[in-house]
């Protein structure tokens, strides 16, 4: 039986969404195949584990009776989770981990930072590498890469927060010289609709930029696609060997959902579990969207399970809005429509993670040479 860590929470504004995703993974992993170990990262960035983190009721009540601090090693080959036991003479409990299932959304978790720990110690983990995670998280760099590969994206520009602080009017004039209203204003590296506003006037642009700049040091501005249809499609696999989910149209792209609208229904319950979905069945639209999604996934060398968000204008032209390398609830609703259960989806994600690690072990990272004996101390190399 494999020891599987589900890591979730984190030092990010998407902390609560991450907890829901993590708990869904904990509940749906096949207990006949896996010993599931939750690792919760609190809002200050400290890791904890314990059976209490498997029960969502404890998060509602903020009660974690058997919580213990834990940590991962940073030496290559150290695949252990170290669980601290209280008491002067008690040793840490050590559990060897076979794979880590990521459930951390946003900063310090979805952006490559946390992935770096597991690339360093060699524990297989679900989702993309450090590089692909970082590029996928930064909407500016992501769009720059897509443009270089002739992947259609909306017109955009960006600025540093410091520039807006020092020269607010000049910054707004610069943006307006590049783009036509309405303009979407977003933090460069956030999701879950946090900090996103649409501006139709210069004053609204100022207000939206102030909001976005409170969440990120870089702000991206995107020219709206008028009367657009938003299309969501998930892609899963690695090294170009990928499969695609159904295509969904969640809402008109000229509308911005707030965090509450996106995740909470009118009765205050989460939308992340269940709900109705508007799947696209038109063959031409599905073909164009899935081909564009696959190319967008492969260009960033993504592995695992990601969701690509596409905008389609009234003429049928499609633009990649962004890639979400760790979608909420693992985009299960998209995969369920093509036959996956939550258990089989998580199984496949773990299979991809372990196969990626095996491939990485085929790469030679050593080059033995006699350089030291041919170099004097202090000499130039």
For residues 68 and 182, membership in a common domain is answered with no
**pLDDT value of position 265:** 44
Residue 147 lies inside a defined structural domain of this protein: no
Q: What is the pTM of this model?
A: 0.91
Token pair of 259 as six digits = 């965090």
For residues 210 and 248, membership in a common domain is answered with no
Token pair of 151 as six digits = 């992947």
**pLDDT value of position 271:** 45
For residues 295 and 213, membership in a common domain is answered with no
For residues 201 and 283, membership in a common domain is answered with no
For residues 102 and 211, membership in a common domain is answered with no
Residue 142 lies inside a defined structural domain of this protein: no
**Residues marked as catalytic:** 14, 192, 329
Token pair of 218 as six digits = 């870089």
CA distance 250 to 254: 12
CB 64 within 8 A of CB 48: yes
Do the annotations mark residue 62 as ligand-binding? Answer: no
Token pair of 366 as six digits = 């050593």
For residues 217 and 233, membership in a common domain is answered with no
Do the annotations mark residue 324 as ligand-binding? Answer: yes
CATH, residue 345: 3.30.470.20
229-238 β-sheet, strand order: 241-248, 229-238, 304-312, 318-324
Report mean pLDDT in 10-residue bins for the chain, 381 residues.
97 93 97 98 97 97 96 97 85 96 93 96 97 97 98 98 97 98 94 85 98 95 96 97 96 48 44 69 97 98 98 97 95 96 98 96 87 70 55
Residue ranges making up the domain that contains 311: 229-355
CA distance 30 to 98: 15
Residue 373 lies inside a defined structural domain of this protein: no
Dihedral over Cα of 42, 195, 320, 265: its sign: positive
Task: Indicate the number of domains in the chain.
Answer: 3
**pLDDT value of position 255:** 52
Mark residue 208 as left, alpha or beta (left: phi above 0; alpha: psi -120 to 50; beta: remaining).
Answer: alpha
Do the annotations mark residue 63 as ligand-binding? Answer: no
């Amino acid at each position: 039986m494999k020891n599987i860590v589900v890591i979730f929470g984190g030092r990010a504004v998407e902390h609560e969404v991450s907890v829901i995703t993590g708990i869904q993974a904990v509940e749906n992993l096949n207990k006949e195949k896996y010993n599931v170990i939750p690792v919760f990262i609190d809002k200050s960035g400290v890791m904890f584990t314990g059976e209490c983190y498997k029960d969502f009721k404890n998060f509602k009540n903020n009660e974690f009776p058997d919580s213990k601090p834990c940590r991962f090693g940073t030496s290559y080959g150290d695949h252990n989770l170290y669980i601290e036991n209280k008491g002067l003479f008690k040793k840490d409990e050590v559990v060897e981990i076979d794979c880590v299932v990521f459930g951390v959304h946003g900063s310090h978790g979805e952006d490559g930072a946390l992935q770096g720990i597991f690339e360093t110690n060699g524990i297989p983990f679900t989702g993309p590498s450090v590089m692909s995670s970082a590029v996928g998280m930064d909407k500016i760099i992501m769009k720059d890469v897509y443009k270089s590969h002739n992947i259609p994206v909306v017109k955009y520009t960006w600025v540093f927060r410091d520039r807006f602080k020092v020269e607010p009017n000049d910054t707004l004039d610069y943006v307006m010289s590049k783009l036509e209203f309405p303009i979407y204003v977003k933090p460069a590296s956030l999701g879950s609709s946090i900090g996103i506003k649409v501006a139709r006037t210069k004053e609204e642009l100022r207000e939206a930029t102030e909001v976005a700049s409170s969440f990120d040091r870089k702000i991206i501005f995107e020219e709206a696609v008028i009367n657009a249809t938003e299309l969501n499609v998930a892609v899963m696999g690695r090294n170009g060997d990928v499969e695609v989910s159904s295509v969904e149209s969640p809402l008109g792209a000229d509308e911005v959902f707030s965090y509450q609208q996106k995740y909470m229904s009118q009765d205050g319950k989460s939308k992340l579990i269940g709900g109705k979905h508007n799947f696209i069945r038109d063959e031409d639209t599905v073909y164009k969207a899935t081909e564009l999604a696959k190319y967008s996934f492969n260009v960033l060398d993504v592995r695992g399970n990601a969701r690509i968000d596409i905008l389609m204008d009234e003429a049928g032209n499609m633009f990649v809005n962004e890639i979400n390398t760790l979608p909420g609830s693992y985009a299960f609703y998209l995969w369920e429509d093509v036959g996956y259960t939550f258990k089989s989806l998580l199984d496949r994600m773990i299979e991809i993670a372990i196969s990626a690690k095996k491939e990485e072990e085929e790469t030679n990272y050593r080059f033995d040479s006699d350089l030291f004996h041919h170099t004097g101390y202090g000499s130039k190399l």
